Amino acid sequence: MDIAKGVYIMEQQDLDSDHNPIGDMVHYTFETESGVLPVPEPGGGFSAKVVVIRGGEQWTETHDYRFGQEAINTIGGCDYRMIPVEVRYGGDIVSSVDYLRYLPELGITYIAGFENDGERTDYYYSSIEVVQ
């Protein structure tokens, strides 16, 4: 997975439990006026048309990012500054929503949940670690 500014997915590949690729690599190209993706800021937001390429298919969709207010998030006994991020995919008809947590000091984001077809799933973490 390639992620810009700790939040914006540039490419992703599903993996099985043995870390072997499943399906096609998916590439995302953000079309922005400035050509720059913003760093998440509390209370801010960002919306862009995104060209998605998977296998031989290509389409354009809207990715709408909303950054919540900064809070403290405790994981594994450590406190981190955290900005909640809500990402809506699809434009006028939202196809899915991801709920992320951006940790500015680490420059990373983790998925806290998602919503698909009106059904929400949340994740709770007891620790974080580097995976290579």
Distances (CA, A) of 99 to 47, 74, 78, 91, 102: 16, 17, 21, 17, 10
88-125 per-position pLDDT tens digit: 988 666 689 999 999 999 999 999 999 988 899 999 88
Residue 113 sits at φ, ψ, to 5 deg, of 170, 175
> What pTM, to 2 d.p., does this model score?
0.84
Question: 20 Cβ partners below 8 Å, 6+ apart?
Answer: none
- pLDDT level of residue 81 (50, 70, 90 thresholds): very high
Percent of the chain with pLDDT over 70: 93
Work out the mean pLDDT of the chain and round it to a whole number: 89
